[in-house]
């Protein structure tokens, strides 16, 4: 039994195709190495989260759900495969959030680039949404200025439109837009994600430890 059966955890993932994923790490790892790292991060994310049964997990796939790695992971971890829709990341996030919230009371949007994001972090976000204090959203900021988690009870288009994705202003602009919506939100501890060469060194150190 899931702890929050009326929520959905939406994990966004691209197929691990060389040259199409982890592009900022290609100078360091090569296209094949970057794709292998992406696959590793995706699998370890599901391996951490699925057994904890916080809420049903959906793997939102790009460009489609046909890649054998995505299909195998869906079967292995018992997660539902969905296809991302939209011209840019903002449109894809909004479409997925709307889709999930038509079927559930809360949606948690995450990627697979944050090895420090675990079940307790997800449970804290969903507990905040369900604590009866009229919390409209929960933001899990990333150390680089983005975010690693956004938990919502409502999909507001302004949170995803004309956003400089991949830059260091995403979390700040998300806060500003939630303020303009009149929302009350909770903010979790900031976590490091893995996008840049300096992040890779920290990740290798974590594995070594």
Q: What is the pLDDT of residues 47-104, one digit of tens each?
A: 999 999 999 999 999 999 999 999 999 999 999 999 999 999 999 999 999 999 999 9
Between β-strands 147-152 and 7-14, what pairing exists: parallel, antiparallel or unpaired? Answer: unpaired
| Separation CA 181–CA 144 (nearest Å) | 25
Between β-strands 147-152 and 106-110, what pairing exists: parallel, antiparallel or unpaired? Answer: antiparallel
Whether the link from the prior residue into 33 is cis, omega within 30° of 0, is no
Point out which residues pair with 54 in neighbouring strands: none
Question: In the 8-state DSSP scheme, what is residue 191?
Answer: B
Mean pLDDT of 127-152: 92
| Separation CA 134–CA 186 (nearest Å) | 10
Query: Residue 76, by phi and psi: left (phi above 0), alpha (psi -120 to 50) or beta?
Result: alpha
| Separation CA 14–CA 16 (nearest Å) | 6
| pTM beyond cutoff 0.85 | yes
Whether the link from the prior residue into 28 is cis, omega within 30° of 0, is no
Residues 6+ apart with CB under 8 A from 165: 88, 89, 90, 146
Q: What pLDDT does residue 202 have? A: 82
Read off φ and ψ for residue 185, nearest 5 degrees. Answer: -135, 160
Q: What pLDDT does residue 209 have? A: 47
**Cβ–Cβ under 8 Å, residues 113 and 121:** no
**Domains in the chain, please, with CATH?**
7-208 (3.90.550.10)
């Amino acid at each position: 039994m899931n702890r929050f059966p009326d929520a959905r955890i939406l994990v966004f993932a691209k197929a691990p195709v060389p040259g199409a994923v982890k592009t900022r790490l290609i100078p360091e790892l090569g296209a094949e190495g970057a794709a292998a790292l992406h696959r590793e991060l995706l699998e370890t994310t599901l391996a951490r989260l699925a057994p904890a049964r916080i809420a049903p997990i959906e793997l939102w796939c790009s460009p489609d759900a046909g890649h054998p790695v995505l299909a195998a992971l869906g079967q292995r971890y018992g997660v539902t495969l969905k296809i991302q829709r939209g011209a840019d990341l903002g449109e894809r996030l909004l479409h997925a959030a709307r889709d999930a919230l038509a079927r559930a009371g809360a949606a948690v949007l995450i990627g697979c680039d944050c090895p420090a994001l675990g079940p307790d972090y997800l449970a804290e976000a969903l507990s905040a949404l369900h604590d009866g204090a009229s919390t409209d959203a929960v933001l899990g900021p990333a150390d680089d200025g983005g975010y690693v988690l956004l938990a919502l009870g409502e999909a507001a288009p302004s949170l995803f439109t004309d956003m400089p994705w991949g830059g260091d202003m995403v979390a700040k602009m998300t806060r500003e837009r939630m303020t303009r919506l009149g929302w009350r939100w909770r903010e979790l501890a900031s976590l490091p994600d893995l996008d840049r060469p300096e992040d890779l060194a920290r990740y290798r150190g974590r594995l070594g430890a």
